[in-house]
């Protein structure tokens, strides 16, 4: 795959969409071809599954069934959006990916982590993000940001935002545990500061991990 694949992860209201838009603009100003996409969603069938899940329709089926639906959406998204873009040398910035299934469906405690990992292996079929940026902040702060935005848009609270604080704290722990387990792929960004500061921290990581993408000169250990 010629394009680079960067995923953004974190709890509710962590600032992923904001930072994806900023990184996309910055890279485009440098002449790079960028595709910003999201999960669940990012392809027509996956967007249908997104609407079904986020309306809470799959909740009665349990966390394992939800994990299956997220995985089905991911397969369609990879096949129709992500893989073709990477093959065409487009760099892909993705708002959530497989780590969200590990964290959100894992946080329920109802699904064995090994089962989630088996689903992930089957769905990804060897695809792996080049870099995963985990935007970390206290869940209270992220939920407050998401709630304030929802009020300005007069939107309903969605399926996962409505979970209790214990769930959201478990999510945060799970994302941090993923970063500890895969330090070569993941970087944790302190997202509890201004959007400008978060943008700067993300750019530092992208420049050091993927220097060619960021227009830097390559060093010996570069992966870009
Ligand atoms: N899910 C997803 C699973 O359970 N399993 C899975 O496998 C997958 C893929 C998706 C839901 O599905 C779940 C996780 C989610 O619950 P979504 O609507 O896409 O639903 O929700 P999120 O991905 O959580 O996206 P959000 O839009 O809620 O959060 P973002 O994108 O992290 O945050 P953003 O950038 O929209 O910012 C939120 C608000 O905060 C402000 C923004 O202006 C905005 O108003 N903001 C800041 N305010 C202060 N300081 C900063 N630094 C700020 N940055 C942004």
Q: Where are the domains of the chain?
A: 5-209
CATH code linked to domain 5-209: 3.40.50.300
Task: Report residues whose beta carbon is within 6 angstroms of any ligand 1 atom.
Answer: 10, 12-18, 38-40, 54, 70, 95-96, 100-101, 104-105, 145-146, 149, 158, 160, 194-195, 198
Say what the pLDDT of residue 176 is.
98
What's the distance, CA 106 to chain centroid?
Answer: 15
Helix (H) or strand (E) holding 131: strand 131-136
Residue in 207, 216, 166, 14 with CA at minimum distance from that of residue 100: 14
Residue 36 near residue 3 (C-beta atoms within 8 A): no
The closest residue, in CA terms, to atom 50 on ligand 1 is 194
User: What per-residue confidence (pLDDT) applies to 217?
Assistant: 61
Three-class SS of residue 223?
coil
SS3 label, residue 187 = strand
What is the rounded distance in angstroms from the CA atom of residue 31 to the CA atom of residue 23?
Answer: 13
Whose C-alpha lies nearest to ligand 1, atom 15?
160
Confidence of residue 216 (pLDDT cuts 50, 70, 90): confident
Q: Which atom of ligand 1 sits closest to the CA of residue 20?
A: 35
Backbone angles phi, psi at 56, to 5 degrees: 90, 5
Answer whether residue 222 shows pLDDT above 70.
no
What is the whole-number distance in angstroms between the Cα of residue 210 and the centre of ligand 1?
A: 24
Considering the entire predicted model, what is its pTM? Answer: 0.96
pLDDT in tens, 61-114: 999 999 999 999 999 999 999 999 999 999 999 999 999 999 999 988 899 999
The whole-number pLDDT of residue 218 equals 52
Q: Scanning the structure block, which residue is given the tokens 């708002």? A: 95
């Amino acid at each position: 795959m010629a394009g680079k694949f960067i995923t953004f992860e974190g709890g509710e209201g962590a600032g992923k969409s904001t930072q994806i838009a900023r990184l996309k603009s910055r890279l485009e100003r440098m002449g790079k071809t960028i595709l910003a996409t999201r999960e669940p969603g990012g392809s027509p069938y996956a967007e249908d599954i997104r609407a079904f899940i986020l309306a809470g329709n799959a909740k009665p089926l349990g966390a394992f069934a939800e994990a299956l639906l997220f995985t089905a959406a991911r397969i369609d998204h990879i096949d129709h959006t992500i893989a073709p873009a990477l093959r065409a040398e487009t760099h892909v910035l993705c708002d959530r990916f497989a780590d969200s299934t590990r964290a959100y469906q894992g946080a329920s405690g109802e699904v064995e982590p090994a089962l989630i990992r088996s689903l992930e292996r089957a769905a990804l079929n060897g695809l792996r993000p080049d870099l995963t940026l985990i935007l970390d902040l206290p869940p209270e702060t992220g939920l407050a940001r998401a709630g304030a935005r929802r009020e300005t848009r007069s939107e309903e609270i969605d399926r996962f935002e409505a979970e209790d604080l214990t769930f959201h704290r478990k999510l945060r722990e799970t994302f941090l545990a993923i970063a500890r387990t895969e330090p070569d792929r993941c970087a944790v960004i302190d997202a509890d500061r201004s959007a400008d500061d978060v943008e700067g921290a993300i750019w530092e990581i992208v420049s050091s991990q993927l220097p060619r993408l960021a227009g830097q000169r390559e060093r010996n250990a570069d992966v870009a």
